[in-house]
């Protein structure tokens, strides 16, 4: 069941977020809901599923000489 909420924030920030949502073809409500879901998600990402932060960090790798598979292997070994 959907419930209405009221949020207060900086006017310029709200304009930017509305623009962001419009450019992606989603409503502000949908964008906010997905953001809230990501905050409260209790499950770990599935193997080989990248979170937005991980995706951003892999973008850095593309500019380096490090292969993505090598970096994945390194992280798996590091966090065992």
Task: Give the pLDDT of the chain (80 residues) as one tens digit per residue.
Answer: 888 999 899 999 999 999 988 998 889 998 888 888 888 876 655 556 666 766 666 666 666 677 778 878 888 888 87
Alpha-carbon distances, residue 58 vs 45, 64, 70 (angstroms): 16, 10, 12
What is the predicted pLDDT for the residue at 54?
Answer: 67
What's the predicted TM-score (pTM) here?
A: 0.48
pLDDT of 75: 83
The structural domains of the chain, with segments of one domain joined by +, span 10-42, 44-80
């Amino acid at each position: 069941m959907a419930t209405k909420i009221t949020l207060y924030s900086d006017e310029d920030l709200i304009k930017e977020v509305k623009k962001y949502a419009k450019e992606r073809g989603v409503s502000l409500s949908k964008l906010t809901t997905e953001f809230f879901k990501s905050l409260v998600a209790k499950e770990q990402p599935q193997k080989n599923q990248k979170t937005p932060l991980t995706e951003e960090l892999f973008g850095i790798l593309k500019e380096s000489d490090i292969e993505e598979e090598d970096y994945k292997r390194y992280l798996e070994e590091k966090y065992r």
